[in-house]
Structure 1
Amino acid sequence: MPQSFKLVYFDGRGRAELLRLTFVAANRKFEDVRVDVMGWPSLRTTTPWGTLPLLEVDGRTVAQSNAIARYLARSFLLAGQDKWQEVLVDSVIEAASDFLAKILHIGEFKGNDLEKADAVHKFKEVTVPSVLSNFDRFISQHGNNGFTVGNHMTIADIAIFSVLDNLFHHGILDSQSLEHYPGVKAAFKSVKTQPRIAAYLNERPNASF
């Protein structure tokens, strides 16, 4: 029996965009519910952990973005082709999540203009190259044919794409920067050019985060 999926998050990309992209890549329909920030306080007390995103599957609810990502990956055959690939894919999900947390922190940085400019500069010059180098080395060890793990698209590719897309969206990184990271560039391209994802990217609403 077909499953019914409802994804609940704010009206932004943030921690939900990986999940949206995964649905799109798998060609699975889902209800994309976007919560108004003003309505969040009343909704918060009804959630399992006081956080978003939430995923409802046939009326059952689960929270925590990485748990949801793994569930979708396993459900849609995007988790890897054996147990070893699965754990490698999991490690990329965690690394991408850590990176996204740093990106979101920069976007929400509290401080004066000079302090924020300094934080952004250090992020661009130190953090971003370090993380991309790690991704590139990982791909060279475990990926092939433009994919991060093995020879087929997994949610690992989508996770890397999603965080890079976030960097581009906020002007922290430009596409030319990927020339220094050939494995990352190939994985990014493999996702961006997937027909369903390309169509989604062309039509998705703009977002502030």
Structure 2
Amino acid sequence: MVHYKLYYFDIRGLAEPIRMLFKLAKVDFDEVRYSFEEWPAAKKTTPFGKVPVLEIDGAPNFQSLAITRYLAHKFGFGGKDLEEQLLVDSWSEQQRELLWEFHRPYVNASMFEIKPKEEQAKILENLRIEFEKWTIKVEGQLKISGSGFIAPSGLTYVDLQIVEFATSMKIILPDSVEKFPQFLDYYKSVHEVPEIKEHFPTFQMPHYKLIYFDFRGLCEPIRMLFRLGHTEYEDFQLSFDERNTLKSTTPWGKVPVLEIDGEQYFQSLAIARYLAHKFGFGGKSLEEQLLVDGWAEQQREFAFEYFKPYVMATVYDVKPLEEQKKETKYFEKGSIDWLKRVVEQVEKSGSGFLAPCGLTYADLFVADQITTMKNLFADTVIGIPGVEDYYRRVHDVPEIKKYVETRKHTVI
């Protein structure tokens, strides 16, 4: 009995058609799913520093299309004859070309090499236009084949690639597939294949929608975690004047709220902790998680005791200027002792961050608090030894650095 072992990230991506083929053939396989945090260490163990990799009895094989095509022919989903195989392979290569030429630039611009929002919007519009052109051509081929699938013989591996790509497009542009009734029927028919239907809910990427104001506030560490996790999400930002428009639609009349496939979750720390553990930034052991949670809670307590009175006096319940200055001074004074304690913990951990394992979600909360302090009394913050080095270390993490460079500047 052949032993298969598939290596990829803990996402759908290029490996999803491969997983579907195993399910269609009812063939068992082992799977190693890397978090993005684990990937740098695992990268050097692969033939070309990339995944997916499929081990067959211990021998590594690479390139997703080559693996997919091999399994398709082995399991009977590659086309019934040479001519049909040519047709299927052509559509497969065409789908990959669309992915690389238009989908990948959007992913890079919105998640990796973060571009300004205007540039992201332009890239997204290009993707939408090309996807719609491509969808029309898919519908044309479905009409020619007469089988309900790309090939006249029925379901092949290219159908798996096409519907997987369409799934990503439904997340990026929710109405993109519904615009094309024939394509939508095709999409549904592939997912109605019993083995695919059984498999798909297990691996379907959730749709995240984050609801908050159009400033940093309680939400910024959550936005950073999505960047660190290389995970797409919808960032729904309200202006402060619009704060009452959605109040009645949230569980407690407050934000942030994170919707996961339409289900609403609340409380910023709970949301951040969930994402931190999901993406690998919650601490390595129970004891380290306790340490990280302690610092996250401590930052929140500090914010309520020292920062919230300042916000109330200057933003919400605006006080006379003298009282505003008093609250700012109170915030500044409390910050000095707190920042010294932060530096002590960073030095104690030995990692350059709060926890010995390295960057965690607590660092994101603390660093964002420091951003606000620097906006209000930079000289005081910079004057405390070790603070600026720690702050820069967090902001030099590539995903954080790219995000911070393009985000809207807000004082709080």
TM-score, normalised with respect to structure 2: 0.46
Q: Which amino acid aligns with 1:30?
A: F
In structure 2, distance between residues paired with 1:82 and 1:148 = 14
Which of 131, 135, 144 is equivalent to 1:132? 135
Matching of residue 106 in structure 1 with residue 109 in structure 2: no
Deviations 1:10-68 (A, max 9, x none): 11111111111221222222122111222222322222222111001111110001101
Q: Which amino acid aligns with 1:170?
A: I
Once the two structures are superposed, the pairs formed by residues 81-96 of structure 1 within 5 Å of their partners are: 81-96=80-95
Secondary structure of the equivalent of 1:187? helix
**How has the CA–CA distance of structure 1 residues 186 and 150 changed in structure 2, closer, same or farther, with 3 Å as cutoff?**
farther
Preserved contact between residue 54 and residue 67 of structure 2 (Cα < 8 Å)? yes
Matching of residue 202 in structure 1 with residue 201 in structure 2: yes
In structure 2, distance between residues paired with 1:166 and 1:25 = 21
In structure 1, distance between residues paired with 2:98 and 2:68 = 16
- Runs of 4+ aligned residues of structure 1 deviating over 6 Å after TM superposition are none
In structure 2, distance between residues paired with 1:48 and 1:172 = 37
Secondary structure of the equivalent of 2:173? coil
Deviations 1:66-125 (A, max 9, x none): 10111110111100100111111111211122223332331221310111112212321x
Which of 148, 151, 163 is equivalent to 1:149? 151
Name 2:43's counterpart in structure 1.
44
Deviation at 1:161, TM superposition (A): 1.1
Name 1:162's counterpart in structure 2.
164
**How has the CA–CA distance of structure 1 residues 188 and 206 changed in structure 2, closer, same or farther, with 3 Å as cutoff?**
closer
Preserved contact between residue 14 and residue 104 of structure 1 (Cα < 8 Å)? no
Q: How many residues align?
A: 203
Secondary structure of the equivalent of 2:26? coil
Secondary structure of the equivalent of 1:176? coil
Identical aligned residues as a percent: 27
TM-score, normalised with respect to structure 1: 0.88
Give 5+ residue unaligned stretches, structure 2.
207-230, 233-412
Give 5+ residue unaligned stretches, structure 1.
none
Higher RCO structure (Cα 8 Å, ≥6 apart): 1
Matching of residue 123 in structure 1 with residue 127 in structure 2: yes
Preserved contact between residue 99 and residue 163 of structure 1 (Cα < 8 Å)? no
In structure 2, distance between residues paired with 1:204 and 1:14 = 10
Deviation at 1:150, TM superposition (A): 1.3
In structure 2, distance between residues paired with 1:186 and 1:53 = 30
